[in-house]
Amino acid sequence: MSWAFLAGFSFYVSIAFAAHGHWTDHYTNAFGMPCCGVRDCVKIPMRVIAITDETFTIDVPSRHVTFTIPRQSYHLSEDEHDYWCAVSLHDPPTPENTRCVFIAIGS
């Protein structure tokens, strides 16, 4: 195999991965913004404690936090984990600091 072929193939694989990254990359929040990917989302146990036509209220027991987000910022998780996708992972979960939440079925 030639080095040119290997370089081209490596480039193609990196582009394909970027286009088809983590499954959370394909979701948006209530404002049409991307929920972001694995670097902006953390696995954290959560549960839905209230639902209205417009909002979901989420409880994060490990952080002693409850917050309410727009319905369109809530998604079902595609794996067995709950995820909180933040504007800043250094700050606590709040409506202003939450892009999206993904909650596993049964949480």
Coil, helix or strand at residue 19: helix
Token representation of residue 51:
């639902």
In a domain, 6, yes or no: no
Q: CA end-to-end span of the chain, whole Å?
A: 50
Number of structural domains found in the chain: 1
Token representation of residue 67:
């917050």
In a domain, 1, yes or no: no
Stretch 87-106: mean pLDDT: 93
Which pLDDT value is given to residue 88?
94
What's the pLDDT tens digit per position in 32-42? 999 986 688 99
In a domain, 70, yes or no: yes
Strand ranges (DSSP E) for the chain?
41-43, 47-51, 55-60, 65-70, 74-76, 83-86, 98-103
Q: Report the candidate in 56, 67, 72 with the shortest Cα–Cα distance to residue 96.
A: 67
pTM of the model: 0.77
Mean pLDDT of all residues belonging to the chain: 84
In a domain, 79, yes or no: yes
In a domain, 2, yes or no: no
Distance set, CA 72 to CA 16, 26, 33, 54, 84 (Å): 28, 14, 11, 8, 14
In a domain, 75, yes or no: yes
